[in-house]
Structure 1
Amino acid sequence: MEFYVPTETGELLAFCGALMAGLLGLVGLFAPRLSLKALGLQLCDHSAEGYAAARSLGGFHAGLALAAVMVAQDWAYLALGSAFALAAFGRILSLMSDASFSLKNLALLAIQVVLAALPLAYVFGFV
């Protein structure tokens, strides 16, 4: 089985977005303390359930990104892009209604927007 690396610019951007999402997911999966700290979160009692939730979310991101990279199909990039678009929408809702407006939240929003835009731009033919 060959590993497919796209040569077309738009698909390459979507592929790179999936790789970035996968790397972020792997950090959450294998280093939940580091990912929680980077997000500005901490567990009050250092509970195993909290770390399990962080690992689970990281695994979800890594799995979705891995699927998009492995099948390299429009629908997989659509799933990845729409998942990050809805995550960015949730962060925007939080910025507006939860008084969570901060530089860190804006930076995380920018990352989510980029991770949503790269695959969606390819799927909808903008690049």
Structure 2
Amino acid sequence: MQVPLDVDPRGFLSPLLCDFFTLSARIGHDSKGCDSMEFYFPTEMNEQVAFIGCAATAVIGLLIFLFPGTVLRLSAFQVGEVRPEGYGSVRAVGGRYIGLGILPILLAQDWFYMATGVVLALGAAGRLVSFFIDRGVTPRNIVFFLLEVALSAAPLAYVFGYI
């Protein structure tokens, strides 16, 4: 008697054959029997505020990543002859902001919302120190400070239960 040769007798390869990367934090089961992920948008208003704050952080990071020269000029840097390393440093900062914004959206966990809020709040604190030490009280600096405060307040208010 000949035993038929099964390519994947224990099902080890089937998860690899399924589409395993789509946006979401909730895992479901699709018609093919594969684990899949669907996009998750919060249903509660308080988490929606944190979600939108993180999404705005990711969009700002994407802008920094894609347009480093424009961002440097907007940040009041004198852009003359910028070497590739300089643009690389600015793009790296943009990538960090993308990661800070996307991670809480993908995983929908309070710790990631809190980490994003704390990092953005520390950035706002650095700008506040600059107001006094560097005499940096300018309209542009104030606007960026308020933006950082608002973006950090959204996830922190959600995590600590203020909204």
Scaled by the length of structure 1, what TM-score is found? Answer: 0.96
Distance across 2 between alignment mates of 1:98 and 1:109:
14
Shift of 1:8: 0.5
Using the aligned pairs only, state the percent identity: 39
* Gap regions ≥5 residues in structure 2: 1-36
Query: 1:115 and 2:151 equivalent?
Result: yes
Higher relative contact order (CA 8 A, sep 6+): 1
Do the aligned residues in 1 keep the contact of 2:69 with 2:79 (CA within 8 Å)? no
Shift of 1:45: 2.1
Distance across 2 between alignment mates of 1:59 and 1:42:
22
Given the alignment, which residue of 140, 148, 153 partners 1:104? 140
Which residue does the alignment assign to 1:124? 160
Shift of 1:43: 3.4
Shift of 1:51: 0.6
Question: How is 1:31-50 mapped onto 2 (pairs within 5 angstroms)?
Answer: 31-50=67-86
Do the aligned residues in 1 keep the contact of 2:65 with 2:90 (CA within 8 Å)? yes
Given the alignment, which residue of 45, 57, 61 partners 1:9? 45
Distance across 2 between alignment mates of 1:49 and 1:99:
29
Distance across 2 between alignment mates of 1:56 and 1:88:
19
Do the aligned residues in 2 keep the contact of 1:81 with 1:117 (CA within 8 Å)? yes
Do the aligned residues in 1 keep the contact of 2:73 with 2:79 (CA within 8 Å)? no
Q: From the CA coordinates, give the structure whose radius of gyration is larger.
A: 2
Which stretch of structure 1 is more off in the superposition, 26-35 or 102-111? 26-35
RMSD: 0.9
Judging by fraction of residues, say which structure has more helix: 1
Judging by fraction of residues, say which structure has more strand: 2
Shift of 1:27: 0.5
Q: Deviations over 1:69-88 (max 9, x none)?
A: 10111000000000000000
Shift of 1:113: 0.1
Given the alignment, which residue of 41, 44, 55 partners 1:19? 55
Which residue does the alignment assign to 1:78? 114
